[in-house]
Amino acid sequence: MSQTLPNQPPPNLPAVDAQGVAKRFGAKWALRGIDLRVRRGESICLLGPNGSGKTTLLRVLASIARPTHGTVMVFGHSTAGAADEVRHLVGLLSHRSFLYGELTALENLQFASAMYGVHLPVTALLAALEAVGLAHAAHGRIRGFSQGMGQRLALARAMLHRPSLLLLDEPYSGLDAAALDLLDQQLREFQSQGGTLILVTHQLERGLAVCRRAVALASGRTSFDGTPEAFRATAESRTAGDWGTT
């Protein structure tokens, strides 16, 4: 997607430097001392069973949630002290789409463009819709969209401001075969342009094929960090529930 070339912070800074990150909700600890360093341009498939802390970690990295303990730096900016700068560098696709059903697909992108402060022209917004296969639905109100169409529009929204770091939580959900292939193509293009990717998905093989590093969480702690090949070898001795993300 040529219109989503990522912003380029100074090349010497890691994309993510998280140290001792813990997050508590009431009496429950969702994260228990996560250390994660991500190089610029790296791609990570984040794995683990329900309740392992994957979504919480993405929210902390996106500066939406504050860690109870620990520090997070995104391209040299602290998520605690420079949240606005972080949010301009991060694109997040989460379980909440941030889309408005009464607006058309184009109007949703126009609103998001204004919120990000980039004020893209209509031609650029239409190109973003075309890139996710929604050019034909630009003027349709999204309350009538299928789950897959909504997911594709949410991805276009997440990439409008040309993020350097893309955080995706179950992006393949609700997509048909053609849309799955289109998304993989977009992610590879994003990476080829220098973008950094952290991807959570229950589609294990598809995620491992797109990413060059696998990180698994269990009970809020890192249980694996290595190559997809090493992860596959390790996973053979585990049950599906140990690694599943559904």
- Residue 47 belongs to a domain with what CATH number? 3.40.50.300
Tell me which amino acid residue 160 is: L
* C-beta separation of 4 from 162 below 8 A: yes
Beta strands, E only, 131-237: 165-169, 196-200, 213-218, 221-226
CA-closest candidate to residue 163, choices 123, 129, 209, 112: 112
> Which pLDDT score is estimated for 1?
44
- Does 35 fall in a domain? yes
* C-beta separation of 161 from 114 below 8 A: no
Structural domain boundaries, residue 87: 14-97+164-240
Count CB atoms within 10 A of the CB of residue 73. 20
What pTM did the predictor assign?
A: 0.89
- Does 34 fall in a domain? yes
How far is residue 171 CA from its own chain's centroid?
8
What distance in Å separates the CA atoms of residue 117 and residue 94, rounded to the nearest whole number? 21
Burial class (CB in 10 A: 0-12, 13-18, 19+), 138: middle
33-86 pLDDT, tens per residue?
A: 999 999 999 999 999 999 999 999 999 999 999 999 999 999 999 999 999 999
185-240 pLDDT, tens per residue?
A: 999 999 999 999 999 998 899 999 999 999 999 999 999 999 999 999 887 666 54
- Does 153 fall in a domain? no
**DSSP state letters, 178-202:** HHHHHHHHHHHHHHHTT-EEEEE-S
Is the confidence at residue 162, as pLDDT, over 80?
yes
- Does 151 fall in a domain? no
- Does 32 fall in a domain? yes
User: 30 by DSSP, 3-state: which?
Assistant: strand
Q: How many residues does the chain have?
A: 246
For residue 114, what are its two tokens?
Answer: 């204004």
> Which pLDDT score is estimated for 96?
81
Residue 34 DSSP symbol: E
Burial class (CB in 10 A: 0-12, 13-18, 19+), 85: middle
Structural domains counted in the chain: 1
What distance in Å separates the CA atoms of residue 212 and residue 226, rounded to the nearest whole number? 9
- Does 128 fall in a domain? no
- Does 127 fall in a domain? no
- Does 246 fall in a domain? no
> Which pLDDT score is estimated for 223?
95
